Amino acid sequence: MTIYPTISDYVATLENPTGVFRTLGEGCPDGIVAVERDLYGAPALRAGNSAAVFTYLRAASGENGSRGPSDKSGVRPLERRFLKCYIRPNPHLHTIYDYIQRTRPELLREVRLLRAELFVMPLAGQARWVDVVEGAWKDGVTLDVALARAGFPERSGAHASRAVGPSKAAKVSGAWGSFESSGSATRRRLAAGFERLCEALRAEEWAHGDLKPENIVVHEAVRMGLSGDREAGRAGRGAADSDCERTGDDSVADGVRMSLVDCDAMWVPELAGQLAVELGTPGFRDPARTPDRFDKSIDDYAIAAIRDLLRA
């Protein structure tokens, strides 16, 4: 049985990333310039149930992966990207990411699976090359954070705690309480944006499989005053409120632009008849869902749950 690297193994590998990448290493056209670090100098990460996500900087690329424009000194600007490193197997990954690479869905950020990309020497098990998922790190905040910063905790503490967790709700409530006055209009914009996202998702031939507020990115966060930057937040919130005052409730009709992240639980047509590896997140997963219920309909329960949350 194959033993997967642990998160600690990946941290140790990326501590000094020289010579450990097949196509992203130093000297490659799109090679890593620097792995982002935490306050203690270790590679910064976000851990999930099946993987750890690291962020890094590289020279910016142009359209279709071409070399990006450089400044007057000939230096290309840097862009932020991510690496997703797995700690347990998912036999559907190649099928899912081959489909994404071939069809390039507009609802998903630019992402790709790099086979045998990273060389890891785990404390337990054999040193080997492992697959990683790599892609663009999109600006914005996730829907759960946007809801909290829109004044959601002040309007309904119980709903906020269920939506983002009691600790996050309390923390955001204390720091962003001034947002309550504009929260109702902002939540209507978020709700309208989510409806537009759902309409686009239903038109696709695939399903996300782990639809939840944490996997939905709101891209107009700064303009709406939800970015986390206080000065930008005040300016963005004022602009949003002015638009609402000029046009009335119709100003929220188009909502805001949203996209989806975390594709590991996706259903794609090539997986028809197979069992699901990931079943989604409790609270946004159909309680009756089982591994054999794996088809285009797996997002329906989550859509209804998030819709109720946005209407609270």
Mean pLDDT of the chain: 79
Residue 297 to residue 107: CA distance in whole angstroms: 17
* pLDDT tens per residue, range 81-125: 999 999 999 999 999 999 999 999 999 988 999 999 999 998 887
How, if at all, do strands 128-136 and 78-86 pair?
antiparallel
- Of all helices (H) and strands (E), which one includes residue 113? strand 111-120
What residue ranges define each of the domains in the chain, with the CATH number in brackets? 7-136 (no CATH), 141-311 (1.10.510)
Residue 305 to residue 156: CA distance in whole angstroms: 17
Task: Identify the pLDDT of residue 225.
Answer: 53
Task: Identify the pLDDT of residue 282.
Answer: 94
Of the pLDDT bands very low, low, confident and very high (cuts 50, 70, 90), residue 74 is low
Which pTM value belongs to this model? 0.78
Indicate the Cα dihedral angle 187, 172, 258, 36, nearest 10°: 170
* pLDDT, mean of residues 277-295: 95
